[in-house]
Structure formats: structure tokens, C-alpha cells
């Protein structure tokens, strides 16, 4: 048997250098891609002696062209940006994405999944609430409908999970802040999803790896109004003198922006200049973080890679069916973005 023979569209995309969404669009309707792209695909088909499984392609054509995209909280700029990326990739592949927001409500999350069943989607991209989610209901949905989880993981649920390496992300923050000034304390609220807990653990591990004692400051708050929690909690810890360092590492950018507002209200200048009394950093690099006052130092999640990998994993699942192999987890590293706040 020739092991070098291309056996599926994923392998063909890899050797040809043509994206999976473009190939999917071509095989669904060759006239839907530009003539130059069509010629390139057909040349690659000949060069690689590849012919798709037309039975599988025809089966897929009997599916609806609907793709569901479900996020926990659409007004969160991170989810708005990644949803935009996912939508565009689905559209480029000839599908019709429909976007839903659970608004932080676990009951609404289940209602959305029930509604999606009636749309008979070809597949679903789901960022679950996490801790608040009904695991059994989501697991049943993933068994019934081709579903890829992204951003927030529920261990063992679904065919695959695509997200960020929170340990690496927080470790990068701690290393930079320790190298450039006083070691950071960690400013957080009660976790609303698994990422918050992973970032807290990542901070503790990174500090201990540097031979330093972790200093975690948790403020009261619930729901997804992170800026308000950061502002109210920030005022409280400033007024009570609870900050254990002049460097404050926040668990996400939205919390950090609320904390920056509290610092401004109390007349505390933030930044790395000589007359500044605090340094503040966050995580995520959501689209508004560069417009803070001062602009926020943070770790950028790889929006492009997370959305690309999520969509490709879903198309693999739609076209190839469920695998008998282990559940796939793909974690992408973050990138340090240095700005004036730290």
C-alpha cells in the first residue's frame, strides 16, 4: 500500500497550500471561486493525482449550509472579534453562519442549542460558559450535532477543543513584569469560566518558578460586567491599602481597564515612567485595550489561529464524520504586547 497517497481533503489542503475553506467552496460549487483560484485547484488535483470522495461530498451537499456560532457574551470585545473571524471564514467557504450569545445565562445557552437543532445545522462552533454550563446537556448536543468547542473547554466534551495556552500566556506576563520591575500581585474576581482558574494557577506556578511568593487579590463580583467589577474592586483595595506590590497583573483586559479607572479616580498615575506609582497589565489584547489611558500592556491571544483552526476542525468533522481517535485539543501561544501601562 502506498502510504504517500493523499486520502482526504485535509491532506490535500496541506500539500497543495490551498486553504480548506477555499477547497470546500470549490467542491460544493466550482463556479463559486475565482477563475484563477479554480485553475490553481484543478492543477493541484492533477499534480497530486487526488480525487475527492464524491459520495461523501454529495452527502454533505444534502446538509443545510447553516453553521451555528455560540459565544457566552457577545458584548465582550474578545468574543465579538473572534466571532467576526469565524463568521468570515464560514462565509468564505460558502456556509451561512448564525451568531448567538448566551449573555452569561446557562438556561439561555441550552435554549440556543435547542433552537439550533431545529435549524439542522451542518455544524456548530461553541464557546460554552464553562462553570455555569449544563455539562450533560452540552455533551448530548455534541453527540447529536457536529460541534467544535473553542476558547472555553469542558473536558472530554465534543470532538475537539481549540483555545489558548493560559499557562504560557500568564507565564509570559510574569516573566516580563519581574524582569522590568517589582514582581506582580494578581488581581482577579471569582472565575466565571475555566480560563480564569487556569490563569490564576498559571500565575501561582510562574511566581513559584521564579522563587517568589504568589500574591493573589480577589475582589467580589459576579456575571460578565468585568469593567465594573475591576473599578469597584480597585477602589476598595486601593482605599484599604490591600495592594501588595506596585505591579498589578489582572486576569483579563476588561478587569484591568476597570482597575485603571479606579487608579485615575484616586489620582494614582499608572505606567513605567519615573513619576508613576503603579504598573498595570492584563491579558487578551481585546480590541479596545490599546485605547486605554494609559494604553494597556497585555498578552495577545492569537485570534487568527484560533478561528482558523476551529473552522478547519469543524469542516473536517462535517466532511469526514466522527473519528475513533482521542479528542483533539489545540492550544495556541500568546504574544507580549508592551504599552505604556507597564
Measure the CA–CA gap between 261 and 256, rounded to whole angstroms: 9
Which residue would you say has higher pLDDT here, 43 or 240? 240
Closest CA to 88 of 299, 319, 288, 310: 310
Measure the CA–CA gap between 213 and 199, rounded to whole angstroms: 16
Which three-class secondary structure state does DSSP give residue 177? helix
Backbone angles phi, psi at 127, to 5 degrees: -105, 95
β 123-126/160-164 pair status: unpaired
Using pLDDT thresholds of 50, 70 and 90, give the confidence band for residue 59.
Answer: very low
The runs of H, that is alpha helices, within the chain are 9-16, 20-28, 35-47, 54-61, 77-92, 106-119, 135-144, 166-180, 194-209, 226-239, 253-265, 303-320
Q: Is the pLDDT of residue 306 over 70?
A: yes
Backbone angles phi, psi at 285, to 5 degrees: 55, 50
256 upstream amide cis, omega within 30 of 0: no
**CATH number of the domain located at residue range(s) 166-300 in this protein:** 3.40.50.2300
Domain 64-163+305-332 -> CATH class: alpha beta
Q: Is the pLDDT of residue 16 over 70?
A: yes
User: CA separation (Å) from 168 to 202, 253, 332?
Assistant: 8, 17, 9
Residue the block writes with cell 469543524: 314
Closest CA to 237 of 220, 253, 254, 251: 220
Radius of gyration of the chain from its Cα atoms, rounded to whole angstroms: 23
pLDDT given for residue 1 in this prediction = 38
Let me know: does 251 contact 174? Beta carbons within 8 Å. Answer: no
Measure the CA–CA gap between 248 and 278, rounded to whole angstroms: 7
Q: Directed axis angle between helix 166-180 and helix 194-209, to 10°?
A: 40
Q: Give domain limits for the chain.
A: 9-60, 64-163+305-332, 166-300
> Fold match between 64-163+305-332 and 166-300?
yes
**End-to-end distance of the chain based on CA atoms, in angstroms?**
58
Measure the CA–CA gap between 130 and 283, rounded to whole angstroms: 19
Entry pTM: 0.79
Backbone angles phi, psi at 134, to 5 degrees: -85, 100
- Cell numbers describing residue 146: 457536529
Which range, of 35-44, 136-145, 188-197, 291-300, averages the lowest pLDDT? 35-44
- Tens-digit pLDDT profile for residues 252-263: 999 999 999 999
- Tens-digit pLDDT profile for residues 128-157: 998 889 999 999 999 999 999 999 999 989
* Total residues found in the chain within this entry: 342
Using pLDDT thresholds of 50, 70 and 90, give the confidence band for residue 200.
Answer: very high
Amino acid at each position: 500500500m502506498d502510504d504517500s497517497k493523499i486520502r482526504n481533503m485535509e491532506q490535500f489542503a496541506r500539500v497543495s497550500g490551498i486553504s480548506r475553506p477555499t477547497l470546500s467552496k470549490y467542491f460544493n460549487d466550482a463556479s463559486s471561486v475565482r477563475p484563477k483560484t479554480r485553475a490553481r485547484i484543478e492543477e493541484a488535483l492533477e499534480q497530486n493525482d487526488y480525487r475527492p470522495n464524491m459520495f461523501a461530498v454529495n452527502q454533505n451537499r444534502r446538509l443545510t449550509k447553516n453553521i451555528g456560532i455560540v459565544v457566552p457574551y457577545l458584548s465582550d470585545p474578545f468574543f465579538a472579534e473572534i466571532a467576526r473571524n469565524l463568521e468570515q471564514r464560514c462565509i468564505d467557504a460558502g456556509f451561512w453562519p448564525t451568531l448567538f450569545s448566551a449573555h452569561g445565562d446557562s438556561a439561555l445557552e441550552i435554549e440556543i442549542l435547542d433552537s439550533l437543532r431545529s435549524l439542522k445545522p451542518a455544524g456548530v462552533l461553541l464557546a460554552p460558559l464553562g462553570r455555569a454550563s449544563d455539562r450533560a446537556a452540552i455533551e448530548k448536543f455534541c453527540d447529536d450535532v457536529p460541534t467544535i468547542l473553542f476558547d472555553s473547554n469542558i473536558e472530554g466534551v465534543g470532538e475537539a477543543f481549540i483555545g489558548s495556552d493560559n499557562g504560557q500566556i500568564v507565564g509570559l506576563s510574569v516573566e516580563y513584569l519581574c524582569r522590568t520591575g517589582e514582581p506582580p500581585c494578581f488581581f482577579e474576581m471569582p472565575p466565571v469560566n475555566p480560563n480564569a482558574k487556569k490563569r490564576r494557577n498559571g500565575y501561582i506556578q510562574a511566581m513559584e518558578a521564579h522563587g517568589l511568593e504568589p500574591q493573589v487579590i480577589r475582589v467580589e463580583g459576579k456575571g460578565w460586567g468585568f469593567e465594573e467589577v475591576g473599578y469597584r474592586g480597585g477602589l476598595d483595595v486601593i482605599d484599604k491599602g490591600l495592594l501588595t506590590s506596585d505591579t498589578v497583573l489582572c486576569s483579563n483586559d476588561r478587569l484591568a481597564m476597570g482597575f485603571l479607572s479606579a487608579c485615575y479616580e484616586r489620582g494614582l498615575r499608572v505606567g513605567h515612567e519615573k513619576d508613576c506609582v503603579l504598573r498595570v497589565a492584563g491579558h487578551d489584547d481585546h480590541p479596545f485595550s490599546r485605547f486605554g489611558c494609559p494604553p494597556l500592556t497585555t498578552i495577545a491571544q492569537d485570534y487568527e489561529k484560533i478561528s482558523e483552526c476551529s473552522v478547519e476542525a469543524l469542516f473536517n468533522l462535517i466532511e469526514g464524520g466522527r473519528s475513533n481517535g482521542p479528542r483533539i485539543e489545540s492550544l495556541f501561544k500568546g504574544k507580549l504586547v508592551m504599552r505604556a501601562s507597564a
